Amino acid sequence: MRPERPERPRRLAVGGREETAPERWLRTLRASGFSAIALGLLILAVVVLAPSLRLLVEQQQQIAALERSVEAQRAEVAGLESELSRWSDPAYIEAQARERLLFIYPGEYSYLVTGAPDQADPGETQPVSAELQTTRVDWLAGILAATFQAGLTEAPASELDVVGGTP
């Protein structure tokens, strides 16, 4: 059996506190030639590889941006394809011709209202009253007068007054 060594007293740092394990480990490090060479190779590797790593990160960001762009364009293509498929429906084509080009079937009548006042905001409508109201304007006489005037006038269109139009 070996004789037991007496335990050394721990050294106290200045200020009266004990040193911790990491402090003790740092104090026992010794600089050697191998440590210096390994540190030098590590620094050289960082210097050599840093530009390549930066380029890699930039390329990854560009790839991510391009993938987002491709997804957005795919969504746009899908929307355009769905719109194109709607044009194969005859009812849709008829509705578009009536709405956009103002087409009508033979025998139908189309009325275009010129000078109509702008629609008021639906939230700003007048309250509904419970009592009957009388019309302040004779609208029947106004429609008949406008119809006769439009049908019997011989003035060119540039001289006619349009209700709500610019003078």
Nearest alpha-carbon partner for 135 in 145, 125, 124, 143: 143
Confidence of residue 167 (pLDDT cuts 50, 70, 90): very low
Q: Is residue 126 part of a domain?
A: no
Which ranges of 87-115 would DSSP assign to H, the alpha helix?
Answer: 90-100
Confidence of residue 156 (pLDDT cuts 50, 70, 90): confident
pLDDT at 16 over 80: no
Q: Is residue 160 part of a domain?
A: no
pLDDT at 59 over 50: yes
Per-residue pLDDT tens over the stretch 76-132: 999 999 999 999 999 999 999 988 888 989 998 888 777 666 665 556 666 777 887
Percent over 90 (pLDDT), the chain = 28
Domain extent at residue 47: 23-76
Q: Is residue 147 part of a domain?
A: no
Predicted pLDDT of residue 85: 92
Mean pLDDT, range 149-163, rounded to an integer: 73
Please give the mean pLDDT across all residues of the chain: 81
d(CA 49, CA 56): 10
Q: Is residue 134 part of a domain?
A: no
Radius of gyration, alpha carbons of the chain:
45
Q: Is residue 51 part of a domain?
A: yes
Q: Tokens representing 72?
A: 């957005």
Task: Tell the residue number behind the tokens 């293509």, with chain if given.
Answer: 77
Confidence of residue 64 (pLDDT cuts 50, 70, 90): very high
One-character DSSP codes across 110-129:
-----SPPPPPPGGGPPPPP
Q: Is residue 27 part of a domain?
A: yes
Confidence of residue 29 (pLDDT cuts 50, 70, 90): confident
Q: Is residue 114 part of a domain?
A: no
d(CA 20, CA 42): 28
**164 with 116: CB under 8 angstroms?**
yes
Q: Number of folded domains in the chain? A: 1
Q: Is residue 31 part of a domain?
A: yes
Three-class SS of residue 18? Answer: strand
Mean pLDDT, range 8-19, rounded to an integer: 63
pTM for the full predicted model: 0.37
Please, which residues have CB within 8 angstroms of residue 19's CB and are 6 or more apart in sequence? 10, 11, 13, 27
